[in-house]
Structure 1
Amino acid sequence: MKNFLNIKSVNSGMVELLESFCVRYNLDSPIHHKYMIDERMSLKLWLKNIRNINEQFNREEFGIYLGNMITEQQIGIAAYMANSCNNLGDFLDHAPHYVKIWFNYIPLDVLSTDTQKIIHWDNPEYYKKGLFNPETDITNVFFTTVIFKRINQLIYPDNIVFSKIEFTQSKPHNTEIFEKFFRCPLIFNASANRIYLNHEVCEISVKKKDPILLNILQNQANRILNTIPDTESFNDLLSQNIIYAIHNNRTNIEYVAEKIGIPTRLLQYQLKKNGMNYSLKLTQVRKQLALKYLEDPALTIYDISLLLAYKEQASFNRAFKNWMGISPTKWRLNNHL
């Protein structure tokens, strides 16, 4: 469960959204770390920040206010892919797979009945154990608001309403703002979070559809997905944070331990327990990234050495030759890249 909260994450755009919200409503931002564009915030830290901001904002409809502020730029490539889809049906087909690029929270399913499409997600296991319940309720409302807003942006100036929404949270004391915003029947204390849309909605065309651009963006999105862990293993958690460290040019173990949220000595203990050491794991991650970067002809060997946080290209060349037995330049030639 602890691994789940640390491995699941949101992109830097969601961090920017929280900061923008605090500025708009004159609140103290709980975020004191400057996030790089490819850096991610753990779900645990997201929930803690939601708690902090909610204590200041103190409104039941906080999730609606927050979700309604989101921009395409903050969602990132998944939003631009949505803009390029042919119709809302295509968008719903893509959404479950690519949503974790910007909000890696809980698996999203799109179910189909004879008359309706149902966007469905359960609450995480930690919620059932009483952890972060108010913050998760806010997150579910936020997530629903974002879906509602994005669907209507895709077909503007047309607009749709959902057939029904079910929330797992308790019924708010004042449902008026919820009802006014979503404009559909709302059910609370449900067994799962569900959004219902009539089938004919799926045939509505997206105004900016562009199948060629969609294909280009999809290839790029798939590369991003490969860097986001699917499991809750210690190994995935460590790899993810080493990648962040490399991108920030701070590859020391102390920085990685800080990013994971544990003392350095505990990280060293976990490494030993898993039969490895930090230097070996750093080398493994660098090797995997190097092979991926070498597939991109736009990147020079010098570019790749910088991306891997080597101070000199010669250091990268030596390391690569130790891994593969040949230089990175020759490896590229041998693989016709």
Structure 2
Amino acid sequence: MSRPPADFDVPLNTACCPPLIGAALAGVDVEALLADIGIDREAADDADYSLAPALRAALWRESLQRSRDPALALHAAEAVPFGHFDVVDYVANEAPTLGEGIAALARYFRIIRADFHLRFEQDDDEGRLWLELPPSFGLVVPYTTEFTLGCIFTRFRGIVGDGFAATEIRFDYPAPGHLAEYERVFACPLRFEAEETLVRFPRSVLALPQPRADARLRLVLERAAAAVLARLPPASDLTQQLRQALSEELRGGTPTCEQIARRLAIGVRTLNRRLQGEGTSFQQQLADLRCELARGYLEDRRLSISEVAYLLGFSEPSAFHRAFKRWTGHSPQAWRRRAAN
């Protein structure tokens, strides 16, 4: 399959879950898939939010296997209709230029995914759109990135046509086996194993007018989007920065508070005081991140327990065994067997 059929309708009960959209598109029995993994049907709408990393990875794995479509995430993105993301779709559509539309999308993206970070900047030379996913997404980062950027490209191409073209896209993971579908969907130079996921746009593209823009309607939609955004729980930039720094330091061993404070350019006392004010601590954030990542890594049976311990910064596997048992009540081996059944 190279693209979704034009008459495909995204089932409402898979609306918020990209792997289920792709599975339904390929004719997979979604009910059986969820039952086999052990995901409650009522939780499927917001599965990407509520699932533990291990179950999220299992959902992607089973959707890919049963659909026999390695480009499932890209095809799911193409199948999601305009308006699916409610006010964010419309407020981006009503901006007068493509650059302002992308800026509006980034500004209100928390309404779609509060745990993702989409950032847009432009200068006299170009525009740059960054996408950062939570560290807990681990093994499913490529699929989630494909879906997210695929949705963005599909939407803006639907507004301005083939004029929506990037200078380059950089991905922070290796090239996939279905590279031809990347080239078809994104239609620009692609670079893999980069330090970050980044889309670059020329100024000429950002200046393109959006033909359906309505200045008065835009003001109404901007007010509506801002009101929705204001009702969301405030995101803690400090916690996000802390978790990102921790994830980058783990392979070198157990990060210390002093080490991370230096990376964040703040004092140790200030870091601890601010974390305490948010009802958490450095050690709690470190343990939570390690637990999330561990469950995701253990889903990949190509990784030995010793390799998982190394990826999480433990000096020896026995230390990882004790910590994992403390976090989950199971040994890593028992968790792996349980997740496989």
Question: TM > 0.5 between the two?
Answer: yes
Q: Alpha-carbon deviation of 1:42?
A: 4.9
Match of 2:74 in 1: 64
Question: Counterparts in 2 of 1:1-337, with a 5 A limit?
Answer: 14-15=15-16, 19-29=20-30, 30=34, 32-34=40-42, 40-45=46-51, 47-48=56-57, 49-126=59-136, 132-156=137-161, 159-231=163-235
- 2-structure distance, mates of 1:76, 1:152: 18
Answer with 79-88 or 14-23: which moved more.
Answer: 14-23
Instruction: Summarize deviations over 1:147-187 as a string: whole Å, max 9, x none.
Output: 1111111213x533211111111112342221122221111
Change (3 A) 1:152 1:225: same
Q: Alpha-carbon deviation of 1:112?
A: 2.6
Q: Alpha-carbon deviation of 1:113?
A: 4.3
8 Å Cα contact 2:97-2:207 kept in structure 1:
yes
Q: Alpha-carbon deviation of 1:17?
A: 6.0
Deviating above 6 A after TM superposition, structure 1's stretches of 4 or more consecutive aligned residues are none
One-letter code aligned to 2:56:
L
Q: Alpha-carbon deviation of 1:67?
A: 1.0
Change (3 A) 1:13 1:76: farther
Q: Give unmatched runs, 5+ long, in structure 2.
A: 1-11, 238-278, 280-341
One-letter code aligned to 1:140:
T
| TM-score in terms of structure 1 length | 0.57
- 2-structure distance, mates of 1:225, 1:50: 29
- 2-structure distance, mates of 1:96, 1:69: 21
8 Å Cα contact 1:61-1:177 kept in structure 2:
yes
Question: Residue 103 of structure 1: SS of its match in structure 2?
Answer: coil
Tell me the C-alpha RMSD between the 2 structures: 2.9
Match of 1:314 in 2: none
8 Å Cα contact 1:85-1:91 kept in structure 2:
yes
Instruction: Summarize deviations over 1:112-169 as a string: whole Å, max 9, x none.
Output: 344211101234333xxxxx4331210011111111111111213x533211111111
Aligned residues: 216
Instruction: Summarize deviations over 1:284-334 as a string: whole Å, max 9, x none.
Output: xxxxxxxxxxxxxxxxxxxxxxxxxxxxxxxxxxxxxxxxxxxxxxxxxxx
| TM-score in terms of structure 2 length | 0.56
8 Å Cα contact 1:87-1:206 kept in structure 2:
yes
Match of 2:244 in 1: none
Q: Alpha-carbon deviation of 1:212?
A: 1.1
